[in-house]
Amino acid sequence: MNRTITKTNFNFPNQTNVYKGKVREVYTIGNDKLVMIATDRLSAFDVIMPKGIPYKGQILNQIATKMMKYTEDLVPNWLIDTPDPNVAIGHLCKPFKVEMVIRGYMSGHSAREYKAGKRILCGVEMPDGLNENDAFKSPIITPATKAEMGNHDEDISREDILKRGIVSEEDYIILEDYTRKLFKRGSEIAESQGLILVDTKYEFGKTIDGKIVLIDEIHTPDSSRYFYADGYEDLQSKRQPQKQLSKEFVRQWLIKNNFQGLEGQKVPNMSDKYVKSVSNRYIELYENITGDIFEKGDLTNIHSRIEANVLNYLSDS
């Protein structure tokens, strides 16, 4: 179970900066390109779990790159190429310091807030009388501030984003428009696979020439929540939990083991058997979301493989 990539320390030609996020490690090349490596780290409740999950980085990277290609006619994105299963190369962008979260159903965080008695989330009203996993009348946008590694993301309203000058009103209107367009397309893609796109988040940035583009990941099980369409209505009518294609199954396991990322709580032990089950679940997610059979990358020496593929790409570009 140790053939995973949980950290990197590459030194690529013309490398000018390195940023390490919760899951991805980003190398700046020159003044115009980024090499983004999707690691096998698993983050939940904004805490990085102690063990990597085999193939997780490959799965996230390949879903995200597929989905960017499926949506590039609607929203421009940062992606240039994918020279390795775990690597995406794209345009250098300055990220907006907000995550655009959009929810079609009351699930996950919104359901936990609702159960706690809250009816306003990020300045958006949630009506009385909803049950967990019910659909909202129309999708709601509930942004979160972008956190540095190790800190929790925070809910924030549109009004506060504008008041605090985090995003200009002109740019925020574009972010909202792009978010709704992407969610509509993502929902259509999910429906074609017999799934429901429940909620997701998008991140955006500006290129050097000032163009707003989609960055990071899109419609992955880490950034999104999916339900199976078949059986959804029946389970809702019986007030039974939905079978989810998302990272929520990890969160629920942690909650059952008394961990929600709160101060003083300790991450429960993740046995090799549990780690393997999580890896298998991610493969299931990949195949259900994309409709493709997952082809496992070579894990013999994943660091050397990534380095060689990136170096080959950079030497040819």
For residues 79 and 215, give the distance between their C-alpha atoms in angstroms, rounded to a whole number: 8
CA distance 149 to 195: 32
Per residue in 143-159, pLDDT tens? 999 655 445 679 999 99
What's the full length of the chain, in residues?
317
State which H helix or E strand residue 62 sits in.
helix 56-71
In eight-state DSSP terms, residue 295 is: -
Q: Which residue has the tokens 């880490």?
A: 222
Instruction: State the Cα–Cα distance between residues 169 and 159, nearest whole angstrom.
Output: 10
pTM, two decimals, is 0.89
* Total Cβ atoms within 10 A of residue 14: 10
pLDDT per residue rounded down to tens, the chain (317 residues): 458 999 999 999 999 999 998 899 999 999 999 999 999 999 888 888 989 999 999 999 999 999 999 999 999 999 999 999 999 999 999 999 999 999 999 998 999 999 999 999 999 999 999 999 999 999 999 999 965 544 567 999 999 999 999 999 999 999 999 999 999 999 999 999 999 999 999 999 999 999 999 998 999 988 999 999 999 999 999 999 998 777 778 888 999 999 998 888 999 999 999 999 999 989 988 999 999 999 999 999 999 999 999 999 999 87
Residues 38, 19: Cα–Cα separation, whole Å:
12
| Residue 57 near residue 5, CB atoms below 8 Å | yes
Phi/psi class of residue 16: alpha, beta or left (left: φ > 0; alpha: ψ in -120 to 50)?
alpha
Question: By the 8 A CB rule, do 5 and 52 touch?
Answer: yes
Q: Which residue has the tokens 């046995």?
A: 271
Nearest C-alpha neighbor of 91 from the set 243, 256, 206: 206
Angstrom distance (rounded) from CA 97 to CA 204: 9
Question: Tokens standing for 127?
Answer: 């009506």
Structure tokens at 66: 């597929």
> Dihedral sign, CA of 117, 121, 123, 124?
negative
Pull the structure tokens for residue 211.
């163009």
The full set of domains in the chain, from first to last, is 15-94+269-316 (3.30.200.20), 95-246 (3.30.470.20)
**Residue 4 is which amino acid?**
T
